[in-house]
Chains A and B, each alone.
Chain A
Amino acid sequence: MKVRVSSQFKVSGTSDLDSQTDALYVALIELERSETDLTEGDVTASLGSRLVGISLVIDATSWEQAEARAREVIQHAIVMIGDQVLIAEGAGVAPTSDAPVADIQSIELIPA
């Protein structure tokens, strides 16, 4: 089954979110090219609120697998930005270092 995943995360700090978003989009497209189960990747950003949105379609055999794969892809794409962004999955924790934190705000899955 195909599942459309939409995720939002908030990036802390004062880094250049615009260029990070571009890098994230390139990373997502690269993932899409190398992985056969990923399609329709897209990235949006609200620079004012520092919210970044990732959406993609995942081909999975179950909802559990789709969710796990979505989490994996999103984390992988964030890491691929190459800016040592830390990931805080919905925990809302304060960053422990100066590195920006991508705090996941939601992951939504609906049938594609």
Chain B
Amino acid sequence: MTDATAATPKRFLAERLGRFVALNWQRATIGIGTIALAVAGAPELFGRTDGVEYSYFDRWGWPQFVFLGGFLALLVGGIAHLKIRPTYGDLLAERDQAVSTANDRANALESVLRAIITDLTDALNLSVSSARASVYCFSDNGFVLLSRVSRNPEWKKRGRASYPADQGLISKAWRDSSAVLVDLPANRDDWEAQLADLGFSSEVAERLSMQARSLVAIRVDALMGSEKLPVGVLVLESEGARGVNGATLDRLLKQRTWGILQNAMANARKHFPAVANTLVRNPPPAE
């Protein structure tokens, strides 16, 4: 009896083999032809001991048939290789173009979101060197930074390529829709101990450059009729113990720009997996 689990790998292998043959038969034919010519020529080079000179085709044996077969294979494979379109070069050019387009789209989305959150931070009086705002999308069980603004060039830098779904205030906001954390310690060791409670390992906490002592995180939802589809998280951070706080969240929810950010992210959500992959592989240059 053949069950489905046994048939699936076989079909998978058959498909892979079929695709390989379809893509590589010209090269395989050229290779076989070359080997055949080499094999056919071997007796001519090494096997002749009788000292009699005669044309290669004076007598017909296996070397001559192999030679003819190899020659034909080389001819067919070579012509097919020259005629087939798109060429490998064409495919490489297309791939480069696709990568370039993906980068352009990711950068365009990043710059739109940057403009929106810049406006938002201005409205919330957070355009100061001690604060920053970041917007993340959710992709492949983690968060990928889409855009970040800060007056401080150090805080603006992109850190990790992606952030685990179960770490930090971002994960709480993703689960509960919003979260506020204030009064984190000024003492670095105490601060890192608090981060351990948020799921950060001591190694990761040590490496964090910005010692944010207050944070506000809010989930960005796409409205699908009466349902909300979570698409990302906006995180506001400050070095001040109460630089951002509950009042910041109240003011944020009343901002028109907050609605614009939600709409922009809702409309772009289908592109987030591709954009996230592009941003992880090829982070945009700092502003």
Binding site for B on A (CB under 8 A): 8, 10, 49, 62-68, 89-92, 103-111
A89-B241, A110-B178, A110-B179 given as contacts; is B185 within 8 A of A105 (CB)?
yes
Nearest chain B CB to A2 CB, angstrom units: 12
Contact B179 A108 (CB under 8 A): yes
- A-B CB proximity, top 4 nearest: A63-B246, A67-B246, A90-B183, A64-B247
User: Which residues in window 169-203 of B have CB below 8 A to A?
Assistant: 172, 176-187, 190, 193-194, 197
Can you give 8 contacting A-B residue pairs, CB < 8 Å?
Answer: A63-B247, A68-B246, A90-B186, A105-B183, A105-B193, A106-B197, A108-B172, A110-B176
B205 within 8 A of A: no
CA distance A110 to B246 in the complex (A): 10
On chain B, the residues within 8 Å of A68 by CB distance are: 246
Nearest chain A CB to B189 CB, angstrom units: 10
Among A63, A89, A92, A103, which residue has its beta carbon within 8 angstroms of that of B180?
A63
Binding site for A on B (CB under 8 A): 172, 176-187, 190, 193-194, 197, 213, 241, 245-247, 249-250
CA distance A37 to B11 in the complex (A): 64
Q: In the complex, which of the residues B177, B180, B183, B184 has the most CB atoms of chain A within 10 Å of its own CB atom?
A: B183
A64-B245, A67-B245, A111-B176 given as contacts; is B194 within 8 A of A106 (CB)?
yes
CA distance A103 to B17 in the complex (A): 67
Contact B182 A67 (CB under 8 A): yes
Contact A106 B246 (CB under 8 A): no
Contact B183 A106 (CB under 8 A): yes
On chain A, the residues within 8 Å of B184 by CB distance are: 90, 105-106
Nearest chain A CB to B205 CB, angstrom units: 14
On chain A, the residues within 8 Å of B197 by CB distance are: 8, 106
A10-B190, A64-B250, A105-B194 given as contacts; is B177 within 8 A of A90 (CB)?
no
Contact B249 A63 (CB under 8 A): yes
On chain A, the residues within 8 Å of B187 by CB distance are: 92
On chain B, the residues within 8 Å of A64 by CB distance are: 245-247, 250
CA distance A67 to B190 in the complex (A): 22
CA distance A90 to B176 in the complex (A): 25
CA distance A63 to B249 in the complex (A): 7
A10-B190, A64-B247, A64-B250 given as contacts; is B185 within 8 A of A108 (CB)?
no
